[in-house]
Amino acid sequence: MKKRIIVPIIAVGIFFTTVSFKSDFFEIAKQIEIFTTLFKELNMNYVDEVTPATLMDKAIKGMLEDLDPYTVYWNEQQVEDAKINNSGIYTGIGATAQSRKDKIIIVEPYKDYPADKAGLKAGDEIVKIGNVNIADLEDDAGELLKGAPGSTVDVTYKRQGKTATATITRGAVDLKAVPFYKLINNDIGYIVLSQFNRKTTIETKAALIDLKSQGAKKIILDLRGNPGGLLNEAINVVNLFVDKGEVITTTKSVIEKYNQTYKTKSDPVDTEIPLVVLVNGRSASASEIVSGGLQDLDRAVIVGARSFGKGLVQRPKKLTYGTQLKVTISRYYTPSGRCIQALDYWHRDENGDPIRKDAKEYNAFKTKGGRTVYDGGGILPDVELKSAVFSPITTALLKDNAIFDYATKYYYSHQMTDWKNFKFTEADFQDFLKFLKDNNFEYETETEKKFAEGLKISEDDDMSKDISASYNQLMAAIDKAKDKAIVDKKVEIESLLTDEILKRYFYREGLYNYQIEHNPEILEAVAVLNDAGRYAKILK
């Protein structure tokens, strides 16, 4: 017998009171009533069995999908996951993992944590957890890996075509916001800041003070790949290098209470020490508040590639039954007045895709010292480097896991005992290109999308037969151009391959030690800091 679900009147009342301050009472009540009656009738009368929770989940996603991608609904488990991410501490197997069809891929086992101690390696494909085949599950199989500290879980995994088993003893996992820092060249402190959680400022401050005690007279703050996090932690990190009372960011919204000005509130650690901040296309949100604030205040030289461009602020709102809505409430602006949001989700093209602001439309702003900076697409570094860029082809390689999968292949076909002498050679790059061919790596360019749309239109106009031969020739030419694009972007691709390969052998500690000596962005940061005249000229 079918379940019959009626939305409680109290739920409507709760929703009603939370939004009534800015919306029309009658229109809200009308739309809620329409949805409630539709949901009830669909549930009672549809020809096949339907699950109310699944229907509602799809309805919610459909309602939110035309907004920005950061306004999302969180179920109870996702709420807990968000709390864990913000705290940096959780109980589990100590590895990042990715769910793919019928399996879970170990992306990175953390050194000396449960998964690593059990012998799991990046690239291992978990196909069974306990007695449960992952292929048989509709829900997130990763939840089965979680459990109380000291409890065990048996996993069956595939590695290089062979099946093996392992028993993992779960434990507390402490993900550091600052996973690495070190004194280099006797007087330069290097700090990796990987996320903005509740421990970020404490760990960054401790690293900075320790490095200064070791003799650091200059600092490199590495925000590359940092996706952001807590806004207040970003303000506090800037505060380590600037005086109390400085405006770091302002937020603006159609809702007046969300219009806020965020200033530094504490005494700094050091306002004079020369500072370089590294960013790239995966530095987002809070990372951009830090880099943008320090740039606008002429407090640091920014090195790398244009950052991601996320200028939107979200806040979680509690819903019933332990769920939440993470909703975009405002845009944030750097001290000079820049909004660095790259995509306009409220104005879309004919395909429904958000519009990216053209570089010609960027607006000019002035830093505290009078330098010109621009809005509209992330933080543009003062010193740009090709090795830090994420071009469309590189992004496609990452999204398709081509770089990750090749690193797995490399690991099981090469011996390495010392990171100091590693070099990704021309022969290695040619082998990577062959790997792409053998695995049928493909990605669709915007050019191909447009021509495919044109071919579709030609079918409606009864012209497809006449132009199909020319179309095929055109596609062949584009394929050649795409192959050339991979070679043209060799510098940035090799950089990513090097990073992924080194992590397999020496974990992140080995990767960071290698980068200190070989990474182009770090070497450029060192060069800037070691040339006082150049450093001063950039900032003035």
Tens of pLDDT, residue by residue over 153-200, are 999 999 999 999 999 999 988 889 999 999 999 999 999 999 999 999
Token readout for 387 is 């090795």
Q: For all residues of the chain together, what is the average pLDDT?
A: 88
> Are the beta carbons of 344 and 94 closer than 8 angstroms?
no
pLDDT score, position 75:
85
What residue ranges of the chain are covered by domains with CATH 3.90.226.10?
Answer: 180-389
Residues 6 or more apart whose CB falls under 8 angstroms from that of 388 comprise 224, 278, 279, 280, 281, 304, 305, 492, 495, 520, 521
Burial 444-477 (b: 16+ CB within 10 A, else e): eeeeeeeeeeebeebeeeeeeeeeeeeeeeeeee
Distance from C-alpha of 102 to C-alpha of 109, rounded to nearest angstrom: 20
Q: Where are the alpha helices (DSSP H) in 215-298?
A: 231-239, 286-296
Residues of the chain with CATH 2.30.42.10: 89-174
Confidence of residue 140 (pLDDT cuts 50, 70, 90): confident
Q: Are strands 324-333 and 260-263 parallel, antiparallel or unpaired?
A: unpaired
Q: Which pLDDT score, from 0 to 100, does residue 371 have?
A: 96
- The DSSP symbol for 47 reads S
Q: How confident is the model at residue 16 (pLDDT cuts 50, 70, 90)?
A: very low
Q: Average pLDDT, stretch 508-526?
A: 96
What is the reported pLDDT for 406?
Answer: 97
157's enclosing H/E stretch is strand 152-159
CA atoms within 13 A on the CB side of 40: 9
Q: In the predicted model, is pLDDT for residue 444 greater than 90? A: no
Structure tokens at 402: 């081509």
- In the predicted model, is pLDDT for residue 18 greater than 70? no
Q: Which residue has the tokens 């390969």?
A: 501
Q: Do the beta carbons of residue 505 and residue 416 sit within 8 Å?
A: yes
Q: How many CB atoms lie within 10 A of CB 403?
A: 18
Backbone angles phi, psi at 194, to 5 degrees: -95, -20
* Banded pLDDT at 482 (limits 50, 70, 90): confident
Please tell me the predicted confidence (pLDDT) of residue 11: 44
Average pLDDT over residues 293-305: 97
* Residue 181 vs residues 100, 116, 176, 213: alpha-carbon distances, Å: 34, 22, 11, 13
Task: Answer whether residue 463 shows pLDDT above 70.
Answer: no
* 339's tokens: 């909004």
Q: Which residues of 34-64 are buried (b: 16+ CB within 10 A; e: fewer)?
A: eebeebeeebeeeeeebebeeeeeeeeeeee
pLDDT of the residue at 152: 94
Give the residue carrying structure tokens 């807590």: 230
Looking at domain 180-389, which of 3.90.226.10, 3.30.70.20, 1.10.260.40, 3.30.1490.20 is its CATH number? 3.90.226.10
- In this structure, what DSSP letter does residue 229 have? B
pLDDT confidence band for 404 (50 / 70 / 90): very high
Cα 524 to Cα 54: distance, rounded to the nearest angstrom: 52
Helix (H) or strand (E) holding 523: helix 520-529
pLDDT at residue 156, as a whole number: 96
Burial 87-116 (b: 16+ CB within 10 A, else e): ebebbbbbbebeeeeebbbbbbbbeebbbb
- Could you tell me the fold of the domain covering 89-174? Pdz3 Domain (2.30.42)
Distance CA 175, CA 360 (A): 41
Please list the active-site residues: 285, 296, 310
CB 249 within 8 A of CB 293: yes
Is residue 68 over pLDDT 80?
yes
pLDDT average, residue stretch 122-127:
96
Question: For residue 375, what pLDDT band results from cuts at 50, 70 and 90?
Answer: confident
